[in-house]
Amino acid sequence: MNSSKSNHSTQLMTIYETLLNEIDVGVHVINEAGKTIIYNNKMAEIESLTKEEVFDQDFLEVFQFEDGQRSTLLEALFEEKEFKNMKQTYFTKNGKAITTINNTFPIYENDKVIGAIEIAKDVTKIENLIKNNMKLKGDTRFTFDSLIGDSSAMKEVIAVAKRATRTPSSVLIIGETGTGKELFAQSIHNGSEHSSGPFISQNCAAMPDTLIESILFGTKKGAFTGATDQIGLFEQAEGGTLLLDEINSLSPMLQAKLLRAIQEKSIRRIGDTVNRKVNVRIIATINEDPVEAIANNRLRKDLYYRLSVVSLFIPPIRERKEDIQLLVHHFIEKYNRIFQMDVTEISDDVMQLFEQYDWPGNVRELEHVIEAAMNVLVGTSTIETAHLPYHFKNKSTLGMQQKSSIVSVYDPNQEKQVSNSIGNNDKSTPTPVGNLKEYLLNAEKYYIQRTLEKHKYHKTNTAEELGLSRQTLQYRIKRLDIDA
């Protein structure tokens, strides 16, 4: 009888152990001395530690907490506190930052605390995603004074934008990458009645749909596994401005939800049953022609009508070349201040190249070129062609003149350019360009750059033509250091 009982309890132990190691939440138990006695597989995975590193160790030898932060597990043990869905960030002894949402409680035996249990869900990745993608108040540096541009096109958009500061209407800013959409959005915010409220910006293309939905609207505890009571950006931006970048990358379902929020001036957290009033000015941006976006089902017509009460079209630099000189001097002054330099001029050759160039990355690209040139400038106060960064020389007319037969290998459609170029035209004997790996990387970079230009830097379309996922394209752009 006794032996069958003990058989039964060892079986139960095995079952408990299997259960602990198979479930998808981290479980960490410490005894009354604060030493680890249970640490399941999921916990080891979340914290990137082995069980051996944790078992029977003093808790604070293995985990560190920032000043003012305390361990929920130790508080449960020593102060008999219970925590439900408590978010906690801490560091392992290997320096890895971990963010979890915990249920933590003491374990009693005969009214005496004999240990504490923590059940943890890992949210480190989601936390990082949110942190990297959200800029909170404090980042709103720009006002209309920061906007450089004397062309009639720019003066006109600035005038419309200034008028938009007087009303709380939604604004749609249309412009290619680097044309200054964020700068305009911040200037409108800072010039408006909403300026005392927060300015929050969110790029809609940066995250999967489900995540962006909870980030925008918030969640109610229990809405889905792991959901906590969390306010969304609409509520965080209360009394201020919410900038939604690249709204054309939101799904039609989310675009409809966004439209409803704007129209009804209220939102409902995911999983909630109550509507909450919000007083937020919405500024949305789109980096392609809205008519084309509507035709290709990337933008809902009803949302477009609603947003475009005020629409600002910021022209690309190639359509307002008269602004180049002003911008160049503005950025030279900016980097003179930052680098403690005294650059005063730019050579006529460089200015000519700038005027002939198409500037697909617009003002951002121009700024980077000036910054890069000033980085290599020594003992002279004039920016010359020699100081220009390689990627610019390569893409500008200077590059066209110097390009070798490598062009013909990468892009047969460029016949005309090649035959005009000074380089070697024989396609069968390309100029040596280093080892094969280097050659292929250059080819890849060139081809991606060309395709991006062709699609006016629209990543989804570029990825489609290249037969890559958008994410893979992003990865390659970063790896190959492509300006996009």
Ligand X SMILES: Nc1ncnc2c1ncn2[C@@H]1O[C@H](COP(=O)(O)OP(=O)(O)OP(=O)(O)O)[C@@H](O)[C@H]1O
Residues near Mg ion (CB under 5 A) are 181-182
Task: Please list every residue from 347 through 376 that binds ligand X, using CB under 6 A.
Answer: 363-364, 367
Residue whose C-alpha is closest to residue 280's, from 244, 245, 331, 315: 244
What's the half-sphere exposure (Cβ side, CA atoms, 13 Å) at 160? 18
- 46, 100 Cβ separation under 8 angstroms: yes
User: Do 339 and 374 meet the contact criterion of CB atoms below 8 Å apart?
Assistant: yes
Asked if 158 interacts with ligand X (CB under 6 A), we say no
Pairing of strands 134-135, 199-203: antiparallel
Tokens read off for 209: 């749909």
Where do we find the tokens 């640490």? 39
**175 touches ligand X (CB under 6 A):** yes
Nearer to ligand X, 333 or 426 (CB): 333
Of residues 43 and 200, the one with the C-beta less far from ligand X: 200
* Nearest residue to ligand X on Cβ basis: 180
Which does residue 192 bind out of ligand X, Mg ion, none, counting CB within 5 to 8 angstroms by kind? Answer: none
Which of the listed partners (ligand X, Mg ion, none) does 88 bind, with a CB threshold of 5 to 8 Å by partner kind? none
Give the separation between CA 189 and CA 191, rounded to whole angstroms. 5
Q: Considering the complex, what minimum distance in angstroms separates the CB of residue 143 from ligand X?
A: 11
At 20 the three-state DSSP class reads helix
Among 26, 34, 106, 149, binds ligand X (CB under 6 A): 149
User: Nearest distance from residue 427's CB to Mg ion, in Å?
Assistant: 41
Q: Does 232 bind ligand X (CB under 6 A)?
A: no
* Candidate ranges 98-106, 176-184, 276-284, 438-446; the one touching ligand X (CB under 6 A): 176-184
- Maximal C-alpha separation, the chain: 101
* Residue 375 C-beta: closest distance to ligand X, Å: 17
Does 178 contact ligand X by CB under 6 A? yes
Distance CA 220, CA 272 (A): 6
Contact residue for ligand X among 287, 311, 396, 462 (CB under 6 A): 287
CA distances to 181, 235, 283 from 197, rounded to whole Å, are 20, 12, 14
Q: Output the smallest distance, CB 178 to ligand X, in A.
A: 5
Q: Is 147 a binder of ligand X (CB under 6 A)?
A: yes
Question: Which residue number is nearest to Mg ion in terms of Cβ?
Answer: 182
72 by Cβ neighbours in 10 Å (0-12 / 13-18 / 19+) ranks as buried
Q: Which is nearer to ligand X, 35 or 456 (CB)?
A: 456
Sign of CA dihedral 110, 111, 113, 118: positive
DSSP 317-382: GGG-GGGHHHHHHHHHHHHHHHHT----EE-HHHHHHHHHS--TTHHHHHHHHHHHHHHH--S-SE
**Span interacting with ligand X, options 10-18, 75-83, 144-152, 208-216, rule CB under 6 A:** 144-152
Q: Are 254 and 244 in contact (CB under 8 A)?
A: no
Minimum distance of ligand X from residue 459's CB (angstroms): 11
Half-sphere exposure of 82 (CA within 13 A, CB side): 6
Shortest CB 147 distance to ligand X, Å:
5
**Is position 235 an interface residue for ligand X (rule: CB under 6 A)?**
no
Q: Is 213 in the site for ligand X (CB under 6 A)?
A: no
311 binds ligand X (CB under 6 A): no
Which listed residue (36, 100, 140, 177) binds ligand X by CB under 6 A? 177
In whole angstroms, what is the distance from residue 19 CA to residue 281 CA? 50
Least distance to ligand X from the beta carbon of 324, Å?
11
Q: Which does 118 bind (CB under 5 to 8 A by kind): Mg ion, ligand X, none?
A: none
52, HSE (Cβ side, Cα atoms, 13 Å): 0
Shortest Cβ 361–ligand X spacing (Å): 8
The Cα–Cα gap between 57 and 62 comes to 7
The Cα 273–Cα 220 span in angstroms is 9
Span interacting with ligand X, options 50-58, 108-116, 172-180, 383-391, rule CB under 6 A:
172-180
Q: Residue 98 binds which one of ligand X, Mg ion, none, with CB within 5 to 8 A depending on kind?
A: none
Which of Mg ion, ligand X, none lies near 62, with the C-beta cut-off 5 to 8 A by kind? Answer: none
Nearer to ligand X, 192 or 219 (CB): 192
241-270 footprint of ligand X as x/- string (CB under 6 A): ----x-------------------------
Interface ranges with ligand X (CB under 6 A): 146-149, 175, 177-183, 245, 287, 363-364, 367
